[in-house]
Chain A
Amino acid sequence: DADVTQTPRNRITKTGKRIMLECSQTKGHDRMYWYRQDPGLGLQLIYYSFDVKDINKGEISDGYSVSRQAQAKFSLSLESAIPNQTALYFCATSDGTVNQPQHFGDGTRLSIL
């Protein structure tokens, strides 16, 4: 089983719909992250959380919100989806030590029509 699980893996929806992407992890890490990947642009940080009560905006948080329901669960919501939010979304976790990389889920491919 994957250590970092994202659901759904693929989603097609319409403009204006509310969408929730979910991430759960079994690594026991305190830190969780949501990234967005667009072709040719690398990854951009949307939100990150150090624990259940500590949630922070990343560089592209506009149009997104998050919820940290438990240490192991971190959800990303698009309140009213728009086509330019079509992208590949990744959840990642880390234990906060510099000699350990962030661990990524398999991604959610989101298409907004």
Chain B
Amino acid sequence: ELKVEQNPLFLSMQEGKNYTIYCNYSTTSDRLYWYRQDPGKSLESLFVLLSNGAVKQEGRLMASLDTKARLSTLHITAAVHDLSATYFCAVDDSGGSNYKLTFGKGTLLTVNP
């Protein structure tokens, strides 16, 4: 059974600081997705990572995937309040058929002035 672990689960940081959220998973997969969820809202896709060494960047967020280490990171650069949200990683557990995602528990990020 695939397990996906995110850490930290709660992250409070100051504006302007850098930090990294980690997503570890337990079985072989080279397909990983990052989502953002604002309170009471839907999930918004941030990044799709499809191979070892994949790196994607959008604004102050950068995601990477190391399939050998079974690890993805979401790096936040110079945080701003608007980045406050819950961030989920999800791993494709369907052997490449892209039908079954296993989600981490999420990281609640709070950016303080």
Interface residues in chain A, defined as those with a beta carbon under 8 Å from any beta carbon in chain B = 31, 40-45, 48, 50, 58, 90, 94, 96-107, 109
Contact = CB atoms under 8 A, between A and B. Distances in A.
B41 A106 contact: yes
Contact of A96 (B40, B44, B90, B98): B98
Q: Bin chain B's interface residue count.
A: 20 to 34
Contacts of B40: 107, 109
Given A40-B105, A42-B104, A97 B41 contact: no
B103 A98 contact: no
A40 B48 contact: no
Nearest to B103: A42
Secondary structure type dominating chain A contacts: loop
Contacts of B106: 40, 42
Given A90-B42, A90-B43, A43 B103 contact: yes
Interface hub of A41, A48, A98 (most chain B Cβ within 10 A): A98
A97 B43 contact: no
A99 B41 contact: no
A101 B48 contact: yes
Given A43-B43, A100-B48, A107-B40, 9 more contacts: A42-B103, A45-B100, A96-B99, A97-B98, A98-B92, A98-B96, A99-B48, A104-B43, A107-B41
Contacts of B44: 104
A100 B9 CA distance: 26
B90 to A, nearest CB: 8
A104 B42 contact: yes
Given A99-B48, A101-B48, A42 B42 contact: no
A48 B99 contact: yes
A44 B106 CA distance: 12
A103 B98 CA distance: 13
A103 B42 CA distance: 9
